[in-house]
Protein backbone atom coordinates (compact mmCIF):
# COMPACT_ATOMS: atom_id res chain seq x y z
CA UNK A 1 0.00 0.00 0.00
CA UNK A 2 1.13 3.51 -0.84
CA UNK A 3 2.14 5.50 2.23
CA UNK A 4 -0.06 8.57 2.66
CA UNK A 5 1.29 11.84 4.00
CA UNK A 6 -0.58 15.11 4.40
CA UNK A 7 0.75 16.30 1.07
CA UNK A 8 -0.51 13.24 -0.81
CA UNK A 9 -4.17 14.01 -0.06
CA UNK A 10 -4.31 15.65 -3.48
CA UNK A 11 -8.12 15.29 -3.77
CA UNK A 12 -8.81 17.31 -0.63
CA UNK A 13 -5.88 19.68 -0.33
CA UNK A 14 -7.69 22.32 1.75
CA UNK A 15 -8.94 19.91 4.39
CA UNK A 16 -5.54 18.22 4.61
CA UNK A 17 -3.68 21.52 4.90
CA UNK A 18 -6.00 22.79 7.58
CA UNK A 19 -5.74 19.67 9.75
CA UNK A 20 -2.00 19.37 9.27
CA UNK A 21 -1.53 23.00 10.22
CA UNK A 22 -3.62 22.64 13.39
CA UNK A 23 -1.79 19.49 14.38
CA UNK A 24 1.65 21.03 13.81
CA UNK A 25 0.73 24.01 15.94
CA UNK A 26 -0.88 21.91 18.62
CA UNK A 27 -4.22 23.58 17.99
CA UNK A 28 -6.52 20.71 17.15
CA UNK A 29 -10.19 21.25 17.96
CA UNK A 30 -11.98 18.90 20.38
CA UNK A 31 -14.43 17.90 17.69
CA UNK A 32 -14.50 17.90 13.91
CA UNK A 33 -17.34 17.26 11.54
CA UNK A 34 -16.17 15.99 8.14
CA UNK A 35 -18.95 16.55 5.65
CA UNK A 36 -19.01 15.64 1.96
CA UNK A 37 -20.15 13.01 -0.53
CA UNK A 38 -19.47 9.33 -0.30
CA UNK A 39 -16.05 8.39 -1.60
CA UNK A 40 -14.54 11.82 -0.91
CA UNK A 41 -12.02 10.34 1.54
CA UNK A 42 -13.49 11.43 4.90
CA UNK A 43 -12.63 8.26 6.79
CA UNK A 44 -9.22 8.02 5.23
CA UNK A 45 -8.51 11.57 6.36
CA UNK A 46 -9.81 10.84 9.87
CA UNK A 47 -7.57 7.80 10.17
CA UNK A 48 -4.64 9.79 8.86
CA UNK A 49 -5.16 12.43 11.52
CA UNK A 50 -5.27 9.68 14.13
CA UNK A 51 -2.08 8.10 12.79
CA UNK A 52 -0.37 11.48 12.74
CA UNK A 53 -1.26 12.00 16.40
CA UNK A 54 0.14 8.64 17.47
CA UNK A 55 2.93 7.96 14.95
CA UNK A 56 6.18 6.96 16.64
CA UNK A 57 8.37 8.00 13.75
CA UNK A 58 7.07 11.26 12.36
CA UNK A 59 6.20 14.59 13.87
CA UNK A 60 2.64 15.67 12.97
CA UNK A 61 2.41 13.19 10.11
CA UNK A 62 2.17 9.43 9.69
CA UNK A 63 4.89 7.05 8.54
CA UNK A 64 2.47 4.23 7.82
CA UNK A 65 5.00 1.66 9.00
CA UNK A 66 5.50 1.98 12.77
CA UNK A 67 3.53 -0.16 15.21
CA UNK A 68 1.05 2.65 15.95
CA UNK A 69 0.36 3.39 12.30
CA UNK A 70 -0.09 -0.30 11.54
CA UNK A 71 -2.43 -0.86 14.47
CA UNK A 72 -4.60 2.05 13.41
CA UNK A 73 -4.68 0.73 9.86
CA UNK A 74 -5.67 -2.71 11.19
CA UNK A 75 -8.34 -1.20 13.46
CA UNK A 76 -6.86 -2.34 16.77
CA UNK A 77 -5.22 0.65 18.40
CA UNK A 78 -6.26 0.87 22.07
CA UNK A 79 -6.79 4.64 22.04
CA UNK A 80 -8.98 4.83 18.95
CA UNK A 81 -12.63 3.90 18.76
CA UNK A 82 -14.55 3.80 15.51
CA UNK A 83 -18.33 3.61 15.68
CA UNK A 84 -20.65 2.86 12.77
CA UNK A 85 -24.45 2.57 12.88
CA UNK A 86 -25.64 -0.63 14.51
CA UNK A 87 -28.24 -1.56 11.91
CA UNK A 88 -30.11 1.53 10.74
CA UNK A 89 -28.80 3.94 13.37
CA UNK A 90 -26.23 4.73 16.03
CA UNK A 91 -27.88 3.72 19.32
CA UNK A 92 -27.58 5.24 22.77
CA UNK A 93 -25.79 2.14 24.08
CA UNK A 94 -23.06 2.73 21.55
CA UNK A 95 -22.59 6.31 22.74
CA UNK A 96 -22.59 5.18 26.41
CA UNK A 97 -19.98 2.60 25.61
CA UNK A 98 -17.96 5.24 23.80
CA UNK A 99 -18.11 7.58 26.79
CA UNK A 100 -16.75 4.83 29.04
CA UNK A 101 -13.93 4.09 26.62
CA UNK A 102 -13.00 7.75 26.36
CA UNK A 103 -13.06 8.23 30.14
CA UNK A 104 -10.31 5.65 30.58
CA UNK A 105 -6.76 6.86 30.64
CA UNK A 106 -5.07 6.75 27.25
CA UNK A 107 -2.69 3.82 26.89
CA UNK A 108 -0.19 5.07 24.39
CA UNK A 109 -0.22 8.87 24.55
CA UNK A 110 -2.13 11.72 26.10
CA UNK A 111 -4.73 11.48 23.35
CA UNK A 112 -7.77 9.39 22.65
CA UNK A 113 -9.67 9.59 19.40
CA UNK A 114 -13.11 8.54 18.36
CA UNK A 115 -14.57 8.44 14.88
CA UNK A 116 -18.34 8.32 14.38
CA UNK A 117 -19.36 7.29 10.89
CA UNK A 118 -22.74 8.33 9.44
CA UNK A 119 -23.31 10.56 12.43
CA UNK A 120 -26.55 11.81 10.81
CA UNK A 121 -28.01 8.37 11.52
CA UNK A 122 -28.36 8.67 15.30
CA UNK A 123 -31.40 7.98 17.40
CA UNK A 124 -32.60 11.09 19.24
CA UNK A 125 -31.40 9.65 22.53
CA UNK A 126 -27.98 8.92 21.09
CA UNK A 127 -27.75 12.40 19.63
CA UNK A 128 -28.64 14.01 22.95
CA UNK A 129 -26.14 11.85 24.77
CA UNK A 130 -23.43 12.72 22.24
CA UNK A 131 -24.28 16.39 22.58
CA UNK A 132 -23.65 16.29 26.34
CA UNK A 133 -20.39 14.53 25.70
CA UNK A 134 -19.33 17.18 23.17
CA UNK A 135 -20.21 19.92 25.65
CA UNK A 136 -17.82 18.56 28.26
CA UNK A 137 -15.03 16.84 26.36
CA UNK A 138 -12.54 14.90 28.49
CA UNK A 139 -9.00 16.26 28.22
CA UNK A 140 -7.06 14.91 25.26
CA UNK A 141 -10.08 13.43 23.54
CA UNK A 142 -10.58 14.30 19.89
CA UNK A 143 -13.86 13.56 18.09
CA UNK A 144 -14.26 13.14 14.36
CA UNK A 145 -17.84 12.94 13.15
CA UNK A 146 -18.34 11.90 9.54
CA UNK A 147 -21.41 12.52 7.42
CA UNK A 148 -22.75 12.78 3.90
CA UNK A 149 -25.79 14.70 5.18
CA UNK A 150 -24.79 17.51 7.49
CA UNK A 151 -28.25 19.08 7.09
CA UNK A 152 -29.67 16.11 9.02
CA UNK A 153 -27.58 16.83 12.11
CA UNK A 154 -28.79 18.77 15.14
CA UNK A 155 -27.62 22.39 14.98
CA UNK A 156 -26.53 22.07 18.60
CA UNK A 157 -24.12 19.32 17.59
CA UNK A 158 -22.89 21.24 14.55
CA UNK A 159 -22.13 24.25 16.70
CA UNK A 160 -19.80 22.15 18.87
CA UNK A 161 -17.71 21.01 15.92
CA UNK A 162 -15.24 22.55 13.58
CA UNK A 163 -16.77 21.77 10.18
CA UNK A 164 -14.51 20.56 7.40
CA UNK A 165 -15.98 20.35 3.91
CA UNK A 166 -14.92 17.61 1.53
CA UNK A 167 -15.54 18.30 -2.13
CA UNK A 168 -16.85 15.66 -4.56
CA UNK A 169 -14.14 13.75 -6.39
CA UNK A 170 -13.31 14.88 -9.90
CA UNK A 171 -14.02 12.47 -12.75
CA UNK A 172 -10.28 12.03 -13.19
CA UNK A 173 -9.82 11.11 -9.52
CA UNK A 174 -12.65 8.56 -9.68
CA UNK A 175 -11.27 7.01 -12.87
CA UNK A 176 -7.83 6.79 -11.30
CA UNK A 177 -9.21 4.94 -8.28
CA UNK A 178 -11.15 2.49 -10.45
CA UNK A 179 -8.11 1.74 -12.59
CA UNK A 180 -6.14 0.97 -9.43
CA UNK A 181 -8.90 -1.51 -8.57
CA UNK A 182 -8.41 -3.26 -11.90
CA UNK A 183 -11.13 -1.64 -14.06
CA UNK A 184 -10.04 -0.99 -17.66
CA UNK A 185 -9.04 2.61 -18.31
CA UNK A 186 -11.76 3.01 -20.94
CA UNK A 187 -14.60 1.80 -18.72
CA UNK A 188 -13.26 3.76 -15.73
CA UNK A 189 -13.28 6.94 -17.77
CA UNK A 190 -16.84 6.48 -18.98
CA UNK A 191 -18.29 5.51 -15.61
CA UNK A 192 -16.56 8.45 -13.93
CA UNK A 193 -18.18 10.85 -16.38
CA UNK A 194 -21.62 9.36 -15.89
CA UNK A 195 -21.64 9.83 -12.11
CA UNK A 196 -19.58 11.71 -9.54
CA UNK A 197 -20.37 9.10 -6.90
CA UNK A 198 -17.44 6.72 -6.53
CA UNK A 199 -19.59 3.83 -5.39
CA UNK A 200 -22.00 4.18 -8.33
CA UNK A 201 -19.13 4.54 -10.77
CA UNK A 202 -17.60 1.36 -9.38
CA UNK A 203 -20.83 -0.58 -9.86
CA UNK A 204 -21.34 0.73 -13.40
CA UNK A 205 -17.80 0.07 -14.51
CA UNK A 206 -18.07 -3.57 -13.49
CA UNK A 207 -21.63 -4.32 -14.61
CA UNK A 208 -22.20 -6.51 -17.62
CA UNK A 209 -25.44 -4.68 -18.47
CA UNK A 210 -23.64 -1.33 -18.52
CA UNK A 211 -21.12 -2.58 -21.08
CA UNK A 212 -24.05 -3.97 -23.07
CA UNK A 213 -25.93 -0.68 -22.90
CA UNK A 214 -22.91 1.08 -24.29
CA UNK A 215 -22.46 -1.41 -27.12
CA UNK A 216 -26.08 -1.03 -28.17
CA UNK A 217 -25.67 2.75 -28.08
CA UNK A 218 -22.62 2.61 -30.36
CA UNK A 219 -24.45 0.31 -32.76
CA UNK A 220 -27.49 2.59 -32.77
CA UNK A 221 -25.44 5.65 -33.72
CA UNK A 222 -23.94 3.69 -36.59
CA UNK A 223 -27.38 2.59 -37.77
CA UNK A 224 -28.89 6.07 -37.55
CA UNK A 225 -26.85 6.93 -40.62
CA UNK A 226 -27.87 3.89 -42.63
CA UNK A 227 -31.31 5.17 -43.57
CA UNK A 228 -33.02 1.86 -43.21
CA UNK A 229 -35.00 0.45 -40.33
CA UNK A 230 -32.15 -1.42 -38.63
CA UNK A 231 -31.92 1.28 -35.92
CA UNK A 232 -35.57 0.72 -35.04
CA UNK A 233 -34.98 -3.03 -34.84
CA UNK A 234 -32.06 -2.42 -32.50
CA UNK A 235 -34.24 -0.37 -30.17
CA UNK A 236 -37.01 -2.93 -30.27
CA UNK A 237 -34.53 -5.69 -29.58
CA UNK A 238 -32.92 -3.92 -26.64
CA UNK A 239 -36.24 -3.15 -24.97
CA UNK A 240 -37.58 -6.66 -25.46
CA UNK A 241 -34.46 -8.47 -24.39
CA UNK A 242 -33.81 -6.94 -21.02
CA UNK A 243 -35.89 -5.18 -18.40
CA UNK A 244 -32.68 -3.88 -16.90
CA UNK A 245 -31.74 -2.04 -20.08
CA UNK A 246 -35.27 -0.65 -20.27
CA UNK A 247 -34.97 0.67 -16.72
CA UNK A 248 -31.68 2.28 -17.50
CA UNK A 249 -32.75 4.25 -20.57
CA UNK A 250 -31.84 7.64 -19.07
CA UNK A 251 -28.32 6.27 -18.66
CA UNK A 252 -28.42 5.04 -22.25
CA UNK A 253 -29.22 8.58 -23.36
CA UNK A 254 -26.42 10.00 -21.20
CA UNK A 255 -24.02 7.64 -22.92
CA UNK A 256 -25.40 8.73 -26.26
CA UNK A 257 -24.79 12.41 -25.46
CA UNK A 258 -21.20 11.70 -24.42
CA UNK A 259 -20.71 9.73 -27.62
CA UNK A 260 -22.05 12.44 -29.94
CA UNK A 261 -19.91 14.97 -28.09
CA UNK A 262 -16.89 12.75 -28.65
CA UNK A 263 -17.53 12.69 -32.41
CA UNK A 264 -17.47 16.49 -32.28
CA UNK A 265 -14.17 16.40 -30.40
CA UNK A 266 -12.68 14.13 -33.05
CA UNK A 267 -13.81 16.53 -35.75
CA UNK A 268 -12.02 19.45 -34.09
CA UNK A 269 -9.00 17.32 -33.25
CA UNK A 270 -9.38 17.48 -29.46
CA UNK A 271 -8.55 13.86 -28.79
CA UNK A 272 -7.45 14.55 -25.22
CA UNK A 273 -11.08 15.43 -24.36
CA UNK A 274 -12.53 12.11 -25.52
CA UNK A 275 -14.52 10.19 -22.93
CA UNK A 276 -14.82 7.08 -25.10
CA UNK A 277 -11.10 7.11 -25.68
CA UNK A 278 -11.01 3.33 -26.06
CA UNK A 279 -13.14 3.59 -29.23
CA UNK A 280 -11.14 6.11 -31.24
CA UNK A 281 -11.31 4.13 -34.48
CA UNK A 282 -15.09 3.93 -34.44
CA UNK A 283 -15.38 7.61 -33.49
CA UNK A 284 -12.97 8.51 -36.27
CA UNK A 285 -15.13 6.68 -38.81
CA UNK A 286 -18.33 8.36 -37.60
CA UNK A 287 -16.69 11.77 -37.58
CA UNK A 288 -16.52 11.48 -41.37
CA UNK A 289 -20.25 10.92 -41.87
CA UNK A 290 -21.84 13.28 -39.33
CA UNK A 291 -21.83 17.03 -39.84
CA UNK A 292 -21.25 19.37 -36.93
CA UNK A 293 -24.81 20.73 -37.25
CA UNK A 294 -26.25 17.21 -37.17
CA UNK A 295 -24.30 16.39 -34.03
CA UNK A 296 -25.37 19.54 -32.18
CA UNK A 297 -28.97 19.03 -33.23
CA UNK A 298 -28.69 15.36 -32.24
CA UNK A 299 -27.50 16.26 -28.73
CA UNK A 300 -30.47 18.60 -28.33
CA UNK A 301 -32.86 15.88 -29.46
CA UNK A 302 -31.38 13.36 -27.04
CA UNK A 303 -31.80 15.77 -24.14
CA UNK A 304 -35.39 16.39 -25.14
CA UNK A 305 -36.01 12.64 -25.29
CA UNK A 306 -34.46 12.20 -21.86
CA UNK A 307 -36.84 14.78 -20.43
CA UNK A 308 -39.75 13.09 -22.13
CA UNK A 309 -38.86 9.66 -20.71
CA UNK A 310 -38.32 11.11 -17.24
CA UNK A 311 -41.84 12.52 -17.49
CA UNK A 312 -43.06 8.98 -18.11
CA UNK A 313 -43.44 9.01 -21.87
CA UNK A 314 -43.51 5.58 -23.51
CA UNK A 315 -39.82 4.70 -23.77
CA UNK A 316 -39.97 2.80 -27.01
CA UNK A 317 -41.99 5.47 -28.81
CA UNK A 318 -39.75 8.22 -27.50
CA UNK A 319 -36.62 6.43 -28.69
CA UNK A 320 -38.09 5.62 -32.10
CA UNK A 321 -39.09 9.22 -32.53
CA UNK A 322 -35.56 10.27 -31.61
CA UNK A 323 -34.06 8.01 -34.26
CA UNK A 324 -36.47 9.19 -36.95
CA UNK A 325 -35.79 12.84 -36.07
CA UNK A 326 -32.05 12.25 -36.27
CA UNK A 327 -32.42 10.47 -39.59
CA UNK A 328 -34.48 13.32 -41.00
CA UNK A 329 -31.58 15.62 -40.04
ZN1 LIG B 1 3.99 5.79 12.13
pLDDT of 108 higher than 80 = no
CA–centroid distance, residue 56 to ligand 1 (Å): 5
What does the pLDDT look like over 112-126, one tens digit per residue? Answer: 999 999 999 999 999
Q: Which among 16, 90, 2 is positioned nearest to 49, based on CA atoms?
A: 16
Classify burial at 2, counting beta carbons within 10 Å of its beta carbon; exposed 0-12, middle 13-18, buried 19 or more: exposed
CA–centroid distance, residue 1 to ligand 1 (Å): 14
Where exactly are the structural domains of the chain?
6-168, 207-328
Q: What is the pLDDT of residue 240?
A: 86
The pLDDT-based confidence of 237 (bands split at 50, 70, 90) is: confident
CA–centroid distance, residue 163 to ligand 1 (Å): 26
CA–centroid distance, residue 273 to ligand 1 (Å): 41
What does the pLDDT look like over 125-178, one tens digit per residue? Answer: 999 999 999 999 899 999 999 999 999 999 999 999 999 999 888 899 899 989
Q: What is the pLDDT of residue 214?
A: 94
Which CATH number is correct for 6-168, 3.10.20.30, 3.40.50.2000, 3.40.50.300, 2.40.110.10? 3.40.50.300
CA–centroid distance, residue 77 to ligand 1 (Å): 12
% of the chain with per-residue pLDDT over 70: 99
Q: Which among 261, 255, 236 is positioned nearest to 316, based on CA atoms?
A: 236
Classify the phi-psi angles of 236: left when phi > 0, otherwise alpha if psi is within -120 to 50, otherwise beta: alpha
CA–centroid distance, residue 44 to ligand 1 (Å): 15
The pLDDT-based confidence of 2 (bands split at 50, 70, 90) is: low
CA–centroid distance, residue 9 to ligand 1 (Å): 17
CA–centroid distance, residue 271 to ligand 1 (Å): 44
The 3-class SS string of the chain reads CCCCCHHHCCCCHHHHHHHHHHHHCCCCCCEEEEECCCCCCHHHHHHHHHHHHHCCCCCCCCCCCCHHHHHHHHCCCCCEEEECCECCEECHHHHHHHHHHHHCCCCCCCCEEEEECCCCCECHHHHHHHHHHHHCCCCCEEEEEEECCHHHCCHHHHCCCEEEECCCCCHHHHHHHHHHCCCCHHHHHHHHHHCCCHHHHHHHHHCHHHHHHHHHHHHHHHHHCCCCCHHHHHHHHHHHHCHHHHHCHHHHHHHHHHHHHHHHHHHCCCHHHCCCHHHHHHHHHHHCCCCHHHHHHHHHHHHHHHHHHHCCCCHHHHHHHHHHHHHHC
What does the pLDDT look like over 9-28, one tens digit per residue? Answer: 777 889 999 999 999 999 99
pLDDT of 249 higher than 80 = yes
Looking only at the bridges linking them, the beta strands covering 112-116 and 141-147 are parallel
CA–centroid distance, residue 74 to ligand 1 (Å): 13
CA–centroid distance, residue 59 to ligand 1 (Å): 9
Q: How far apart are CA 84 and CA 297, in angstroms?
A: 49
What does the pLDDT look like over 268-320, one tens digit per residue? Answer: 999 999 999 999 999 999 999 999 999 999 999 999 999 998 888 888 899 99
CA–centroid distance, residue 33 to ligand 1 (Å): 24
pLDDT of 1 higher than 60 = no
What does the pLDDT look like over 47-89, one tens digit per residue? Answer: 999 999 999 999 999 999 999 999 999 999 999 999 999 999 9
Class of domain 207-328: mainly alpha
CA–centroid distance, residue 38 to ligand 1 (Å): 27
CA–centroid distance, residue 60 to ligand 1 (Å): 10
Count Cβ neighbours within 10 Å for each residue of 304-328 and write b for 16 or more, e otherwise. Answer: ebbebbeeeeebbebbebbbebbbe
State the first-to-last Cα distance of the chain, in angstroms, to the nearest integer: 53
CA–centroid distance, residue 17 to ligand 1 (Å): 19
Average pLDDT over residues 247-256: 92
Amino acid sequence: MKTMTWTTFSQQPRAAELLHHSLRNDRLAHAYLFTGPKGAGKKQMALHLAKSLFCQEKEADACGACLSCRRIEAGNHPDITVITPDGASIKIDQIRHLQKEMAMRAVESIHKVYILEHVDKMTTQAANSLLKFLEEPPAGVIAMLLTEQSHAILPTILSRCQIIHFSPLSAEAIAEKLVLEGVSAGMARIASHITSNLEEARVLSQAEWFAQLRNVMIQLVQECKQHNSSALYTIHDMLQKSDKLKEELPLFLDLLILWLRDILYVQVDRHAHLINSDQQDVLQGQALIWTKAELLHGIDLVMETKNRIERNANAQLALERLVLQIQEG
